[in-house]
Amino acid sequence: MDSTSPSTVACACGSDGTNRKAVAVDPDIKRAVLNRLRRIEGQLRGLQRMVEEERYCADILMQMSSVQEALRGAGRALLRNHLAHCATEAIRSDDPGRAEAMYDELVDLMYKTAGR
């Protein structure tokens, strides 16, 4: 990346950075992610009860693993939407700064989410 100050770097989403929104959200993906997050919310309440009731630690840890996998699944769906819409639009735009910002954003996402 160049030495451009952060205030002059283009935002990958094309906004001014104050109210970032997705370029587009597939309605089926949105519905599936919201349903999954509601199920995860219920799982988290169940985990809280398990801890309050002093359930067996291994059982709690297995439930935690299930929640983490469900979150990863929701993340995969959102990443697919991001690549299909937001990233594609930024990379194909006529603004090289937006494309560069998206490349940086995608690399950061890969490092932050890989191996978790």
The domain ranges of the chain are 24-113
CA distance 111 to 103: 13
CA distance 76 to 82: 10
More confident of the two residues 28 and 3: 28
Whether the pLDDT of residue 7 is over 60: the answer is no
Mean pLDDT of the chain: 86
Whether the pLDDT of residue 46 is over 50: the answer is yes
Share of the chain above pLDDT 90, in %: 71
CA distance 112 to 116: 8
Report pLDDT for 13. 60
Report pLDDT for 47. 97
pTM of structure = 0.73
Q: Which fold has domain 24-113?
A: Methane Monooxygenase Hydroxylase; Chain G, domain 1 (1.20.58)
Q: Which residue bears the tokens 């160049």?
A: 2
